[in-house]
Structure 1
Amino acid sequence: MSAVHSLPHTVEAASADLVPSRYAVRIGEIDVMVISDGVLPIGFETMSTNVDPAGRTAWLDNRLLPETFDWAVNVVVIRSGEQTILVDSGLGGEFEGFPRAGQLVKRLQAAGIALDALTDIVLTHLHMDHVGGLLGAGVKEKLRPDVRIHVAAAELAFWEAPDFSRTVMPSPIPDVLRATAKQFLADYRSRIQAFDDEYQVAPGVMARRTGGHTPGHCVVRVTSGGDALTFAGDALFPVAFDHPDWQNGFEHDPEEAVNVRLRLFRDLAATGELLVATHLSFPSVGRVAVDGDAFRWVPGYWDY
């Protein structure tokens, strides 16, 4: 794993950011940059809805974590040939109560990546912390008129009449998710290119529908020169390595989400390829190892 210099790295003079907000790796001939959109405070009970309180407390205590802590929000920018691809767009700044998220536009700019340089956008699913960054003031106008937005057809169909009957979210969230998806579809429908199960976005960049978290949830796999990296979106959260069977309240099909996690972990452990996910601590670049009946997160060594 080596740092990439072909994607711009600029010095942020007098920046208010106290930690880095981007990290780049090279997958064969393809550049991948992980960019932090910030963090979201979420109570852990929502991330472990089928677990008794004692089990939840034990996991938190073992990691010296409080009941509510900050979950990373990561997106990636991929450059393959002449295409520059944004995968997910973070939360955006339109939602009250999340002052430390919604940093994408600022951090793309700091990385030297202009909105009008994006040829493609892949959305793993249409939850607010994945599409919200496209809904901010002036964002749509700065994107190229011919930008292609790739979303699984099953995801588009789901949000026409979304079913939250199996989710366990804080009471205001479902209505916000509905409204956000509706706004996104109204603003961008003409630019959306739907795919069924798999779609090659660019040479070496494949989007694949997994379902589970939402019916059209997808992952993006980058392969080149014998190297590979998978961006897993919301297929997994940090606790999933120890307890892949623990469900979170944002999963629309909890049992299938567990099956998706297990398949993904087994595949990643077998290939040894890099993993990045939305809610793993930034920069979220590492690998998966088998650990008895569970799995182990192996963080990558930073190259700097």
Structure 2
Amino acid sequence: MNLHNTSYPATSKPEELVPSRYALKVGEIDVLVVSDGVLPLPTTMLAHNADPAVRATWLHDMFLPQDAFDWALNAVVVRSGDKTILIDAGLGSDPDLHLPRAGQLIKRLEAAGIDLSSVTDLVLTHLHMDHIGGLLVDGVKQRLRKDLRIHVAAAEVKFWEAPDFSHTAMPPGFPDALRATAKRFVKEYGSQLRQFDEQHEVAPGVVVRRTGGHTPGHSVVRVASGGDGLTFAGDAVFAVGFDQPDWHNGFEHDPEEAARVRVGLLREIAASGEMLVATHMPFPSVGHVAVAGDAFRWVPVFWDY
């Protein structure tokens, strides 16, 4: 399966007349960014430690609504050698939180011509429900390979045995849904987990590295080949994090550490000139990072047709 310059079957319905997949090459490695849809969330989730007036000004300057807006949800498929790797699995079925426009990943993988049985490895940046829920959709497990390897940081699995939400600032219902989804996931897929401590090579040129911060075992994935590189940053980076990297996102379990991780990662990617993709950056979320004084600047790639 070559994800680049491939003719995909025209299976989208009229309501799917939106861009939902974007293919690119990183050296000899094929990468496909796939949209799982969007999550409507309160804008306070972007920065619960910020002065409301300053936050309101940022939203105004970005032409965004003041009360709530749509957070993108992105996952990535990587083909390296004989391995097909899915990075994160989307929200899955709506967990009684009224999120009808998310959970699109499985049908969009199908529309892209990607059979679930072809996935040899799954990398989870962390165990929040919008990254693992797709695996809990009815019928999905039966379509996955019996020898599927699921790579996740050991610290992440340990954390969800008794998660601490004391430093988060989530809307009502989210903590319970997160806890229940993680518990169910570990119960159903525990035997297939391949836990690592700090860093692990999943396939040639595909390395997952624990960063912590957002959650204790939060990880990022770097894809590198032929002098090119791309980092999938999971939830380490949000749209507001370039202008205001010290603003605390409501889902961060250790906001101070998450801010340090974010700054360090953005500096690293800016210095390398490599590409960045992140879960909640606007689709297709492919771009570069530039340094802008004490902050950063997001530079989206020009779409490659």
Please give the range of the TM-score, normalised by the shorter of the 2 chains.
Answer: over 0.9
Alignment correspondent of 1:19: 18
Q: Secondary structure at the match of 1:208?
A: strand
Structure 1 residues 82 and 167: alpha-carbon distance in aligned structure 2, compared to 1, 3 A threshold: same
Q: Give how far 1:4 is off.
A: 5.1
Q: Contact 2:95–2:177 at 8 Å: present in 1 too?
A: no
TM-score, with length taken from structure 1: 0.97
Q: Give how far 1:18 is off.
A: 1.7
Q: Secondary structure at the match of 1:248?
A: coil
Find the aligned partners of 1:142 and 1:182 in 2 and give their Cα distance: 21
Structure 1 segments of 4+ aligned residues over 3 angstroms from their partners: 12-15
Q: Contact 1:6–1:31 at 8 Å: present in 2 too?
A: no
Amino acid at match of 2:239: P
Q: Contact 1:7–1:31 at 8 Å: present in 2 too?
A: no
Give the share of equivalent positions with the same residue, in percent: 64
Q: Give how far 1:191 is off.
A: 0.5
Superimposed CA distance per residue, residues 88-134 of structure 1 (whole angstroms, 9 cap, x where no aligned partner)? 00100142301101001100000000110000000000001000010
Q: Secondary structure at the match of 1:16?
A: helix
Q: Contact 2:124–2:150 at 8 Å: present in 1 too?
A: yes
Find the aligned partners of 1:102 and 1:14 in 2 and give their Cα distance: 16
Find the aligned partners of 1:112 and 1:267 in 2 and give their Cα distance: 34
Find the aligned partners of 1:133 and 1:14 in 2 and give their Cα distance: 20
TM-score, with length taken from structure 2: 0.97
Q: Contact 1:92–1:104 at 8 Å: present in 2 too?
A: yes
Alignment correspondent of 1:206: 207
Alignment correspondent of 2:85: 85
Aligned pairs, how many? 302
Q: Does residue 286 of structure 1 match 2:283? A: no
Amino acid at match of 1:157: K
* Structure 2 portions without partners, runs of 5+: none
Structure 1 residues 183 and 101: alpha-carbon distance in aligned structure 2, compared to 1, 3 A threshold: same
Find the aligned partners of 2:7 and 2:115 in 1 and give their Cα distance: 11
Superimposed CA distance per residue, residues 168-226 of structure 1 (whole angstroms, 9 cap, x where no aligned partner)? 11121111110000000000000000000000000000000000000000000000000
Alignment correspondent of 2:104: 103
Structure 1 residues 77 and 5: alpha-carbon distance in aligned structure 2, compared to 1, 3 A threshold: same
Amino acid at match of 2:107: K
Alignment correspondent of 2:47: 48
Superimposed CA distance per residue, residues 274-303 of structure 1 (whole angstroms, 9 cap, x where no aligned partner)? 100000000000000001111000000001
Find the aligned partners of 1:78 and 1:180 in 2 and give their Cα distance: 25
Find the aligned partners of 1:200 and 1:107 in 2 and give their Cα distance: 27
